[in-house]
Chain A
Amino acid sequence: MASFKPTKIPIYPKLGEKVTPDTLYWKNYKAPVQIKEFGAVTSIDFSPLAPHNYAVTASTRIHIYGPFSQEPVKTFTRFKDTAYSGKFRSDGQLLVAGCEDSVVRLFDVSGKVALRVFKGHTKGVHVTDFTSDCYHILTGSDDYTCRLWDIPNSTELTSYKEHTDYIRCGTTSKLNRDIFITGSYDHTLRVFDARVEKSVMTMDHSQPVESVLLYPSEGLLVSAGGRYVKVWDLLKGGQPLVSLKNHHKTVTCLGLSGNGQRLLSASLDRHVKVYNTTNYKVVHNFDYAASILSLALAPDDESVVVGMTNGVLSIKHRKSPEEKQEVAGKQRRRPVYRIFVKGRNYVPKKDDFLVSKPVKSHLAKYDKQLKRFNISKALDTALESWRKNRKPEITVAVMKELDRRGTLNNALAGRDEQNLSQLLNFLIGNVVDPRFTPVLVTATEMILDIYKAVVGQSSVVDRQLVRLQELVEREIDYQQDLLEVLGMLDTLFASSLPRKEVPCPGSSRPNGLAEGGLGAPGPQLQAA
């Protein structure tokens, strides 16, 4: 004697993105804090020192924000024109910034007035950086040159004029004080050695380069330009490793997560994408309100700061572990009741004779009613469960089961106004859901057949029927539109794909028919 098999509630796949450790990690940020700056935020840089303040370059000022303050803790306003590229030194004491007026200024973080002013460029300076020995400054300018400056003497050491267009990005090596890399709008990346007169390596990005990034190991170089993010192997003489094309507008900024395992790219298409650095697959995606110009991550990914063209600075802080716990605690449901089973922990002794009781399987209420063939009640119970916790799967599964038993008609019939309006409510809510449509369309047809004689007697039901009709009409129009789009796409694909001929080795006899016709010695399978 088999036991009753309960109704199977199908588990529908969750729509949307899959939950991976990456999405969990990157979603674990609080709602962003937004600060309005005076102009487009062109650069953000975190201080390497403990409180990890960050310098935000926007318009003609540089603001320094504390990790949790919404007001700037310090502001540098001594710029004649738009400031660019505010950068901290590795000890966090000095800050350098370029300016559209071609002057490079060096500030003490605690002071207000520029300590040094480096003059020599003839056009705006978009790139500034400290070398790893802390005594020199690298600058790159729109006059196609990049220069090295000495801080103590505020003199120009060297000037390289190899690029043939604006230099808009550059970085210095953190391991070697003499090596730096610049990227330019002439589509090239150049690696310079201060000890040598000329560039030591040139890579062609084939798009104007907007941003460069060195891996902490400095074996790999990442460049962004156009819609592409490219990774180069410096140790192999600048060989391209991968080319990523995940944005649909120019990529403006690159970043690396705290542990160096994830690469971030920000673009004018308002997205920040997170890549896995082992397989260079996109593992997460952030959406922002406007085109992004700059991006920076606090050490250990404590916060993600993004600057946009509309001058909004968006700061996301990581949720602290306590807060996370609190949320989890809220979700955990306490048991509603507790059962103490006597002798539950009793372990039978060696010689005890064990009488096993059949385990009673728990059945849901609608299953119990289905077992007793109370079909109308089972449908009522299923509808009730939908009203309570909005799970249409259960209701649809019960309807499907009734349909399979051939009794859906009987279960739907004989309802009063209130009951019928509930049923119609359910149908209106779910009939266009593609997962449920096959079952619910049958049910709807049955309801219309059953109750067509009483249409017009109740205003509530009539109104719902009209709504249902509108819904179905809208859905039909929608489907038609979709089919039209599909047809268009098909023609596009058909015309764009190259026509491929099926290779046929025996081209002289297309399908072997000729060979067979020539009377090959076939077996005589006819039984004599």
Chain B
Amino acid sequence: MVEHADIRMVHRGGSKINFREPVFTNDSRFLLCAAGESVKVYSTSTEECIHDLQGHTDLVTGVVLNPLNHLQVYSCSADGTVRLWDFTDGILIKTFIIGYPIYSIYVSEKHGGVVFVVVPMANYKSSEQFQLVAVHLPRSGDQEVEARELSAVLCDVSPHPGAASFGREGEYIAAAKDLQLEVFFFKKQKSYRFSLKSGIKKGVKNAFTCVSCHPKEDCIATGHADGKIRLWRNFNQKKEYTYSTLHWHHGAVNTLCFTPEGTNLLSGGIESVLVHWRYKQENQKDFLPRLGAAITHIAVSPDGSLFCTSHSDNKITIIQSCVKVSAVIQGLVKGEGVWTNLIIDPRSKALVLNGKPGHLQFYSLHHDKQLYNLDIVQQEYIHEEGLDQFEVVKAAFDTHGDWLATVEERRKKGSELEVNLKLWAYDKLTQSFVLNTTVTAPHEDRITAMFFSPSPETTMLVTTSLDGHFKAWLLADHSDTKAEGAFWSCDFVGGYHLLKPGCCCFSADGSLLAVGFQEVVTVWSPASWELLTTLSQPPGAIRDLCFGRLSCSKYLLGTSTKNQLCCWNLLTCSLEWSTPMDVSLLQTDPLSENMAAFCNQSGSSDLFVFKPSEPRPLYSQKALCTGKVQHAVFAPRDQMLESCEERTQWLNRSQLYFVTQHMDLLTFSTKTEEDRLLASRKQLVVDDSVAVTPFYLLLGKHRMQQLEKQEVLPNPMAERTQLPQGSIAIKELLHTPAHVLPSASFLCAMFVRSLLISSSSAREEKEPEEEEMESEKEEEDSEGEADSRQGESAAWGPSKELGAPALTKAQERELRRVKTFDHSWLSSLLDC
């Protein structure tokens, strides 16, 4: 099949922003962090993404500020390059090609023009061993420079960026790996190694996890896998080094960081508590508990006013001097799995999937931003390894988004399963979902599928479970009882020969319910709960069921585990067609007849988009990605595309999103659409780098008026429409304080002119007069501002005269006015 150039796969959102430690800029207004293959610049006050520095071709593995110029930033990547950026404008300045994949980057003020990077050791092909090398960045004007001048500093280091740190004023670098801490002194060109006992026999895990050096004193703080923090001193010799131990964390210390003055030490781990140790008074510590997820990195702004913590749930929290969370930058949370499938919230059109443990996240696809988290489990999450906690495993919306059903389950080791079914009603007032009904143990075993009936008359939910039953739940109004409001209760329990149901599906109008009981598909009428018919296609259990939509609503499609895709005609109750295909996922587009089938073939996934009534697929794409496509969903578009081309027509109404094995969210898009998106995004970028000052307010207003004037002048047609505003001149005259008014003779002429019946010249005259008055007023407020303006107009005058001999009357008058104006101040300006 032809490869369609116009349809392409696009990464959509959700790059990891917690992969590496974020960096504050010197003025703490921006936060730079590595996000996938780009570096993102966030505003620390508004949480907005201001720039996306794109250029790397592989994962960005480190970001550091240029120590020589604090408006520039170095980034390193696994593609073997170090790039220098101007982050205020988002411009790539230089690219240094190192040639080896880089795992982390360190810089120090003392070593200008040198960056220290961790690369795999050249002689080890297995790339299991890493070394720290110093790279001298050549000074050259070229955009792309090859930097081949590498000198090894330390061998056998950890590729983890937290495992090495520059000491006081860059005099030494400390690196830790496993049970060994190595300190290299640049002056002496000598390194010392300190080892800890493994202590595995005693059940202690002494391995180093992270290192941080005190910025002012000779002290190295190291974190360990058993939760201890050791402070090393006197380490410039082999023998008489000392260390003291701090212990609060019960899990491994993930990250350590000294504040810029060295007065405090921050540490974080899986407990998701930011611990704030006072340096030299270590028994005094502060905590900032319940930050949401395990802390992976901590960064401190250069002035020490802001801290920021990266969390394992793809979140960056900005904290003001350790007491208050001021901002949260949240990416798409990628947990251990998406058990709920991808769902589209019909109300907000947001993508809904598992978020933080026990939560559902609502993720806006159009803005690539998390809207909110809905707490489903409503229990305190204990941040500890090896605990079985409740997880949201199923979720479903009804057609209007008024109801949300969720299933949470917890499987204890060797104990029975705990399942809760919760039903949430949408509350218009709070714009959120409110818990309506909780059903404990709705089934005796796992729930395999859950769907709302799409029929507009009833609100019905159907759940199927491995206990061999499917249940229908109805919203019942129990107004005769004391409990106010409606709640959900079980209406019908169905089964078929004690077979285990695996999937179910409602027809588009809600008049039919198909339940797949292993090899048999049963079709029920939800109105009377009558078993209408059974269909089966023996080899293989039914994996997925889908009713056709619109003109294809007479078809029922099913996939079986034995590589079959079957299509039954419901009118004749017979098999229409079947084809051998290992379909792992079948999805229907709610807005058209199209269906998407993802197939597994030799380790990669293929996509077919087809109509059940037509024998030829509309679109097919081979080798979409490696591995199985786990989940997919058709998201309706805001505006319909008007593509007439046959190949892309299926993308007109909705867009297909899917999640690969590696939890990447991908979608299909056409070229034209991408271009349009790009253009609109450029417009949207708000440049908040220019702060609003009183001076800007004055000058900005003035400038804008000037611009307006320039626009207005050459267009007398536009002027005429504003005729009724003629009295503005009079208003100005009456409302302006007397002491700033020009001389009476001047005013008189203006007044008389304003009374004249409209002619274009009179209108045009008015504007400059006003302008002048205003400028005079402003002159009092700010001398300099008016200066610049008047200077400008003075400079403009003669050139106009030269360039355009035929002047309009208005221009002449303007000239005259400028001439008569007092220019004494200008000469003083020119003098200085």
Taking a contact as CB atoms under 8 Å apart, the answer to whether A2 and B292 are in contact is yes
Q: How many residues of B contact A (CB 8 A)?
A: 61
Q: Is B666 interfacial (CB 8 A cutoff)?
A: no
Taking a contact as CB atoms under 8 Å apart, the answer to whether A5 and B577 are in contact is no
Taking a contact as CB atoms under 8 Å apart, the answer to whether B379 and A5 are in contact is yes
Taking a contact as CB atoms under 8 Å apart, the answer to whether A512 and B614 are in contact is no
Q: Is B190 interfacial (CB 8 A cutoff)?
A: no
Taking a contact as CB atoms under 8 Å apart, the answer to whether B578 and A516 are in contact is yes
Q: Is A522 interfacial (CB 8 A cutoff)?
A: yes
Taking a contact as CB atoms under 8 Å apart, the answer to whether A506 and B617 are in contact is no
Residues of B near A4 (CB, < 8 A) are 290, 380
Closest to A3 in B: B290
Taking a contact as CB atoms under 8 Å apart, the answer to whether A21 and B480 are in contact is yes
Taking a contact as CB atoms under 8 Å apart, the answer to whether B575 and A502 are in contact is no
Q: How far is the CA of A226 from the CA of B418 in the complex (A)?
A: 49
Contact of A511 among B389, B535, B578, B606 (CB under 8 A): B535
Q: Is A524 interfacial (CB 8 A cutoff)?
A: yes
Taking a contact as CB atoms under 8 Å apart, the answer to whether A515 and B288 are in contact is no
Residues of A near B615 (CB, < 8 A) are 521-524
Most chain B C-beta atoms within 10 Å of own C-beta, residue among A438, A502, A512, A522: A512
Q: Is A1 interfacial (CB 8 A cutoff)?
A: yes
Closest to A24 in B: B482
Taking a contact as CB atoms under 8 Å apart, the answer to whether B620 and A513 are in contact is no
CB distance from B622 to the nearest CB of A (A): 5
Contact with A along B97-136 (1 / 0, CB 8 A): 0000000000000000000000000000000000000000
Contact of A505 among B384, B390, B533 (CB under 8 A): B533
Taking a contact as CB atoms under 8 Å apart, the answer to whether A8 and B379 are in contact is yes
Taking a contact as CB atoms under 8 Å apart, the answer to whether A406 and B415 are in contact is no
Taking a contact as CB atoms under 8 Å apart, the answer to whether B537 and A513 are in contact is yes
CB contact list, B412-442 vs A, under 8 A: 412, 415-416, 418, 438, 440
Interface 9-residue window, one of B170-178, B261-269, B330-338, B564-572:
B564-572
Closest to B325 in A: A1
Q: Is A20 interfacial (CB 8 A cutoff)?
A: yes
CB contact list, B779-811 vs A, under 8 A: none
Q: How far is the CA of A370 from the CA of B379 in the complex (A)?
A: 12
CB distance from A21 to the nearest CB of B (A): 7
CB distance from B606 to the nearest CB of A (A): 6
Q: Is A527 interfacial (CB 8 A cutoff)?
A: yes
Q: How far is the CA of A515 from the CA of B535 in the complex (A)?
A: 12
Q: Is A335 interfacial (CB 8 A cutoff)?
A: no
Residues of A near B292 (CB, < 8 A) are 2
Residues of B near A19 (CB, < 8 A) are 481-482
Residues of B near A357 (CB, < 8 A) are none
Taking a contact as CB atoms under 8 Å apart, the answer to whether A5 and B575 are in contact is no
Residues of B near A3 (CB, < 8 A) are 290
Closest to A520 in B: B577
Specify the main secondary structure of chain A where it touches its partner. Answer: loop
Contact of B575 among A404, A405, A513, A527 (CB under 8 A): A513
Given contacts A3-B290, A516-B537, is CB(A525)–CB(B579) below 8 Å? Answer: yes
Q: How far is the CA of A401 from the CA of B608 in the complex (A)?
A: 47
Taking a contact as CB atoms under 8 Å apart, the answer to whether B291 and A1 are in contact is yes
Q: How far is the CA of A511 from the CA of B440 in the complex (A)?
A: 38
Contact of A527 among B481, B482, B565, B608 (CB under 8 A): B608
Q: Is B1 interfacial (CB 8 A cutoff)?
A: yes
Q: Is B411 interfacial (CB 8 A cutoff)?
A: no
Q: Is A504 interfacial (CB 8 A cutoff)?
A: yes
Q: Is A18 interfacial (CB 8 A cutoff)?
A: yes
Tally the A-B contacts, defined by beta carbons under 8 Å: 129
CB contact list, B267-323 vs A, under 8 A: 288-292
Q: Is B573 interfacial (CB 8 A cutoff)?
A: yes
Q: Is B730 interfacial (CB 8 A cutoff)?
A: no
The contact size tier of chain A is 35 or more
Residues of B near A515 (CB, < 8 A) are 572, 574-575
Q: How far is the CA of A479 from the CA of B712 in the complex (A)?
A: 93
Residues of A near B579 (CB, < 8 A) are 522-526
CB distance from B3 to the nearest CB of A (A): 11
Given contacts A509-B574, A525-B610, A527-B622, is CB(A504)–CB(B382) below 8 Å? Answer: no
Q: Is B531 interfacial (CB 8 A cutoff)?
A: yes
Residues of B near A512 (CB, < 8 A) are 535, 537, 568-569, 572-575
Contact with A along B533-577 (1 / 0, CB 8 A): 111111000000000000000000000000001111100111111
Given contacts A516-B574, A523-B579, A525-B617, is CB(A511)–CB(B534) below 8 Å? Answer: yes
Q: Is A528 interfacial (CB 8 A cutoff)?
A: yes
Q: Is B733 interfacial (CB 8 A cutoff)?
A: no
Q: Is B410 interfacial (CB 8 A cutoff)?
A: yes
Q: How far is the CA of A3 from the CA of B565 in the complex (A)?
A: 50
Q: How far is the CA of A503 from the CA of B524 in the complex (A)?
A: 12
Q: How far is the CA of A505 from the CA of B533 in the complex (A)?
A: 8
Residues of A near B581 (CB, < 8 A) are 525-526
Taking a contact as CB atoms under 8 Å apart, the answer to whether B616 and A506 are in contact is no
Taking a contact as CB atoms under 8 Å apart, the answer to whether A505 and B573 are in contact is yes
Taking a contact as CB atoms under 8 Å apart, the answer to whether B389 and A523 are in contact is no
Most chain A C-beta atoms within 10 Å of own C-beta, residue among B292, B566, B577: B577
Q: Is A456 interfacial (CB 8 A cutoff)?
A: no
Residues of B near A20 (CB, < 8 A) are 480-482
Taking a contact as CB atoms under 8 Å apart, the answer to whether A527 and B440 are in contact is no
Q: Is B532 interfacial (CB 8 A cutoff)?
A: yes
CB distance from B104 to the nearest CB of A (A): 30
Closest to A508 in B: B574
Residues of A near B759 (CB, < 8 A) are none
Q: How far is the CA of A513 from the CA of B575 in the complex (A)?
A: 7
Q: Is A498 interfacial (CB 8 A cutoff)?
A: no
Residues of A near B566 (CB, < 8 A) are 516
CB distance from A19 to the nearest CB of B (A): 5
Taking a contact as CB atoms under 8 Å apart, the answer to whether A406 and B387 are in contact is yes
CB distance from A401 to the nearest CB of B (A): 8
Taking a contact as CB atoms under 8 Å apart, the answer to whether A516 and B577 are in contact is yes
CB contact list, A484-528 vs B, under 8 A: 502-506, 509, 511-513, 515-516, 520-528
Residues of A near B418 (CB, < 8 A) are 438
Q: How far is the CA of A401 from the CA of B378 in the complex (A)?
A: 12
Q: Is A158 interfacial (CB 8 A cutoff)?
A: no
Taking a contact as CB atoms under 8 Å apart, the answer to whether B481 and A524 are in contact is no
Taking a contact as CB atoms under 8 Å apart, the answer to whether A404 and B379 are in contact is yes
Taking a contact as CB atoms under 8 Å apart, the answer to whether B574 and A506 are in contact is yes
CB distance from A513 to the nearest CB of B (A): 7
Closest to B535 in A: A511
Q: How far is the CA of A528 from the CA of B620 in the complex (A)?
A: 10
Taking a contact as CB atoms under 8 Å apart, the answer to whether A511 and B616 are in contact is no
Q: How far is the CA of A525 from the CA of B410 in the complex (A)?
A: 40
CB distance from A191 to the nearest CB of B (A): 36
CB contact list, A1-29 vs B, under 8 A: 1-8, 10, 18-21
Closest to B410 in A: A404
CB distance from B445 to the nearest CB of A (A): 15
Residues of A near B616 (CB, < 8 A) are 523-524
Most chain A C-beta atoms within 10 Å of own C-beta, residue among B569, B573, B616: B573
Q: Is B386 interfacial (CB 8 A cutoff)?
A: yes
CB distance from A1 to the nearest CB of B (A): 5
Give A contacts to B, CB under 8 Å: 1-8, 10, 18-21, 370-371, 401, 403-406, 438, 442, 502-506, 509, 511-513, 515-516, 520-528
Given A20-B480, A401-B379, A527-B620, 7 other A-B residues pairs in contact with their CB atoms under 8 A: A5-B379, A505-B533, A511-B536, A512-B537, A522-B576, A525-B579, A527-B622
Give B contacts to A, CB under 8 Å: 1, 288-292, 325, 375, 378-380, 382, 384, 386-390, 410, 412, 415-416, 418, 438, 440, 478, 480-482, 531-538, 565-569, 572-579, 581, 597, 606, 608, 610, 614-617, 620, 622
Q: List 25 A-B contacts (CB under 8 A).
A: A5-B378, A5-B379, A8-B378, A10-B438, A403-B412, A404-B379, A438-B418, A502-B534, A503-B532, A505-B533, A506-B572, A509-B574, A511-B534, A511-B575, A512-B535, A512-B574, A513-B536, A513-B537, A516-B537, A521-B577, A525-B565, A525-B617, A525-B620, A526-B581, A527-B1
**What 9 pairs across the A-B complex have the smallest Cβ distances?**
A522-B577, A516-B575, A512-B574, A523-B615, A512-B575, A515-B574, A5-B380, A527-B620, A506-B573
